[in-house]
Amino acid sequence: MTDSLAIEELPSPNCDDRPAGQKIDTLILHYTGMPDAGQALRRLRDPQAKVSAHYVIDEAGKIYRMVPEEKRAWHAGISAWKGERDINARSIGLEIVNTGHEFGYRPFKLEQMDALVALAKDIKTRHDIPPERVLGHSDVAPLRKQDPGELFDWYRLFAEGIATWPTPKLVEWSDEQFFEALAAFGYDVSGPPNAKIDPQIARRAVCVAFCRHFRPAVLRPVPDPEMKSILAGLVDNPAA
């Protein structure tokens, strides 16, 4: 239970009510992408910034609660997964302090990962969040976001029973079949409606987002045989 986790309350005004009857079934992981934790914590509580998260984990593994889980925190922005576009309404947003790609991206600290695992397990005692719905910000906003990025240890979350991880499966897919499978898995392969995104740009962004999460050693904007076999393994058994 939450009581067993040391959590410091640091309320943010940047939230509102979830839609009535809305179930929470998604966990979105972010990095703060700011030069230091202090600036990140200030920004996430600044009414002008209009951004927040339910929880923040600093580099020492200290957990802050900014928004109660029953409220809608403003963390995902314009985003989509499995055709759903109000990701904030159905998710819990968790920020991990890291300077990010803009300010010197670096490995996440072991203390942070330990705290994240404990917190994610605690969250899962309250909400039915399947492993395949524990996602990165870049998964739900591939055109805009890179976080938590290719240094994030998704495999550990899988090993802890929190997130999904593929067992690759050899397939002879065309690129078209790959994109169809990406969309079936959940990725928005065409960009927000009315945004008039060049389909090639949208597809390239989704390929890189897919790699950041499931094949972080090589980020490629176009499908390759290994990406296809990884995705085939996920689609075959997304909750494995």
Q: Judged by CB, which is closer to Zn ion: 30, or 215?
A: 30
Adjacency order of strands within the sheet including 26-31: 7-9, 63-65, 55-57, 91-96, 26-31, 134-136
Q: Does residue 54 interact with Zn ion by CB under 5 A?
A: no
Give me the catalytic one of 70, 95, 102, 180: 95
- Restricted to residues 3-32, the positions that interact with Zn ion (CB under 5 A) are 30
Give the 3-state DSSP-derived string for the chain, with helices as H, strands as E and coil as C. CHHHCCEEECCCCCEEECCCCCCCCEEEEEECCCCCHHHHHHHCCCCCCCCCCCEEECCCCCEEECCCCCEEECCCCCCCECCECCHHHHEEEEEECCCCCCCCCCCCCHHHHHHHHHHHHHHHHHCCCCHHHEEEHHHHCCCCCCCCCCCCCHHHHHHCCCCCCCCCCCCCCCHHHHHHHHHHHCCCCCCCCCCCCCHHHHHHHHHHHHHHHHCCCCCCCCCCHHHHHHHHHHHHCCCC
Q: Judged by CB, which is closer to Zn ion: 59, or 236?
A: 59
User: Shortest gap between Cβ of 147 and Zn ion (angstroms)?
Assistant: 4
The token pair that represents 183 in the structure block: 């969309």
User: Shortest gap between Cβ of 56 and Zn ion (angstroms)?
Assistant: 12
What are 52's strand-pairing partners?
none
Q: Judged by CB, which is closer to Zn ion: 139, or 147?
A: 147
Amino acid at 10: L
- Restricted to residues 214-233, the positions that interact with Zn ion (CB under 5 A) are none
- Restricted to residues 117-176, the positions that interact with Zn ion (CB under 5 A) are 137, 147
For the question of residue 95 being annotated catalytic, the response is yes
User: Shortest gap between Cβ of 80 and Zn ion (angstroms)?
Assistant: 14
Q: Judged by CB, which is closer to Zn ion: 40, or 162?
A: 40
Beta carbons of 59 and 111 less than 8 angstroms apart:
yes
User: Shortest gap between Cβ of 237 and Zn ion (angstroms)?
Assistant: 28
Residues in the interface with Zn ion (CB under 5 A) total 3
User: Shortest gap between Cβ of 30 and Zn ion (angstroms)?
Assistant: 3
Catalytic residues: 95
Tell me which residues touch Zn ion (CB under 5 A): 30, 137, 147
